Amino acid sequence: MDVFGLMASYDYGEVHFERDAATGLKAIIAIHDTRLGPALGGCRFLPYARDEDALVDALRLARGMTYKAALADLPHGGGKSVLIRPQNQHFDRAALFMAFGRFVDNLGGHYITAEDSGTGLEDMEIIRSVTKHVTGVDVSHGGSGDPSPFTALGVRRGIEACVKIRLGRASLEGIHVAVQGVGHVGYQLCKELAAEGAKISVADVDPLKAERATREFGATVVALEHIFETECDVLAPCALGSALNDHTIPRIRATIVAGAANNQLAEPRHGDDINARGILYAPDYAINAGGLVNVAAEVVGYDAEKSRERTMKIYDTIHEIAERSAKTLTPTYRVADLMVEEKLARVTRGSQPHL
């Protein structure tokens, strides 16, 4: 495995590895950029077929966190941790996450962790027992709890901006949204959409989760393999990454793609493919920043109302990206990248010593 080649391809400076034989911990912490502040990003706990797959996942996700934090005007860089779930189903989860917490603590605040796919509030509480460099902890300990509602709020606001730009509608009343994945964030997004009067279709690998959306929000269940070809106003990918690819993009029958998943484009060129089809794409790291905005507030002292106000501004960010895209005939993902790179370049220039 060409580790340094992979790091170069994602423009990296550092990656940290930890193995703890006693607990079965195999962890990677990828720190992409810290020009704006200490790296902040979630902890993913999933099985991986190969160690290389785990590394690539960490590299891609942490880079996205740099861009997400910059676009949301947060004083943080991008980082992400990936824990490879042991094949042995009888591992001691608490001991494993304590070992991971010590790994985080050894970095001295250079990286601050949070929950992500495969982890939750209970895991963050275990990590908190051995390091202060963790967010998303219980409200009784000064934390913000589950960030999913804030992520969903930001996505809903982003969808509203897209609907205004593309469909000329000021509300989501009667707008049909097809949600791929109704886990933590997807469920909360359905809740947000239902409150605004949207029509909802859902698909999930777990039929019980899809049925719950039907019971609580009146959603129509669609077979997972058909969600991309559902005729709707908005397609909202809310499962794992790479959902927008050579196979799915030609099948999309939506006017807008705006969802909560990270790394929705399998490759950057797929952003061009979506644009060529005349579909308005809300760049994932721009629209799904609500959770990061929320946990970042814990670092300075959590205030739920301020986090909500900041998350609501995702509407303005998506609106600006869409407008600049239309004016310059540039795909939205390129516009968002350019906005971030301009900001990071200013920080770099401002930090150079006077000669």
Residue 14 sits in a domain of what CATH number? 3.40.50.10860
Alpha-carbon distance 218 to 198, whole Å? 10
Ordered strands of the 77-84 beta sheet: 14-20, 25-33, 77-84, 39-46, 111-115
| Alpha carbons 117 and 263: distance in angstroms, whole number | 13
- Do 265 and 116 share a structural domain? no
- Asked, for residue 294, whether it belongs to a domain, the answer is no
What is the overall mean pLDDT for the chain?
A: 94
Please indicate, yes or no, if residue 152 is contained in any of the structural domains.
Answer: yes
Does 239 lie in the same domain as 174? yes
Q: Are 9 and 45 in a shared domain?
A: yes
In this structure, are 46 and 134 located in the same domain? yes
| Measured CA angle at 118 (ends 112, 120), to 5 deg | 60
**Residue 12: what pLDDT?**
81
Shared domain check, 191 and 235: yes
Question: pTM, whole model, 2 decimals?
Answer: 0.89
Q: Range of 267's domain?
A: 148-289+315-341
Average pLDDT over residues 6-17: 87
Extract the tokens encoding 319.
């609106």
Do 31 and 133 belong to one domain? yes
One domain for residues 165 and 96: no
**Vertex 189, ends 97 and 121: CA angle to 5°?**
20
Task: With cut-offs at 50, 70 and 90, classify the pLDDT of residue 146.
Answer: confident
Query: Last residue of some domain: 141, 169, 194?
Result: 141
222 within a domain of the structure (yes/no) = yes
For 96-134, write each residue's pLDDT tens digit.
999 999 999 999 999 999 999 899 999 999 999 999 999
State the pLDDT at residue 349.
44
Domain membership of residue 84 (yes or no) is: yes
Structural domains counted in the chain = 2
**Would you say residue 261 lies in a domain?**
yes
pLDDT at 2: 86
Q: What is the pLDDT of residue 325?
A: 98
The yes-or-no verdict on residue 67 having pLDDT over 90 is yes
Same domain for 203 and 333: yes
pLDDT band at 269 (very low <50, low <70, confident <90, very high): very high
Boundary (domain end) residue, out of 141, 170, 190:
141
Residue 222 C-alpha from the chain's centroid: 24
Active-site position among 80, 191, 313, 343: 80
Mean pLDDT, range 244-270, rounded to an integer: 97
The CATH number of residue 201's host domain is 3.40.50.720
- Nearest to residue 113, comparing CAs of 295, 246, 342, 252? 295
Q: From 103, 119, 141, give the residue that closes a domain.
A: 141
Verify whether residue 80 is a known catalytic residue: yes
pLDDT above 90: residue 241: no
Q: Phi and psi at residue 6, in whole multiples of 5°?
A: -65, -40
Has residue 351 been placed in a domain? no
67-92 average pLDDT score? 95
Q: Are residues 182 and 99 in the same domain?
A: no
Give tens-digit pLDDT for 40-62.
999 999 999 999 999 999 999 99
pLDDT of residue 4: 85
Asked if pLDDT for residue 348 goes beyond 70, the answer is: no
What's the mean pLDDT in 3-29? 91
Q: Do 10 and 153 share a domain, yes or no?
A: no
Instruction: Provide DSSP, 283-344.
Output: -HHHHTTHHHHHHHHHHH---HHHHHHHHHTHHHHHHHHHHHHHHHT--HHHHHHHHHHHHH
Does some domain include residue 269? Answer: yes
Residue 351: the pLDDT is: 44
Q: Does residue 301 form part of some domain?
A: no
Q: Are residues 96 and 181 in the same domain?
A: no
Quote the CA–CA distance of 308 and 19 in Å, as a whole number.
Answer: 38
Residue 350, pLDDT > 50, answer no
Which of 5-19, 151-165, 207-221 comes out lowest in average pLDDT?
Answer: 5-19
Residue 354 has pLDDT above 90, yes or no: no
Say if residue 238 is in the same domain as residue 201: yes
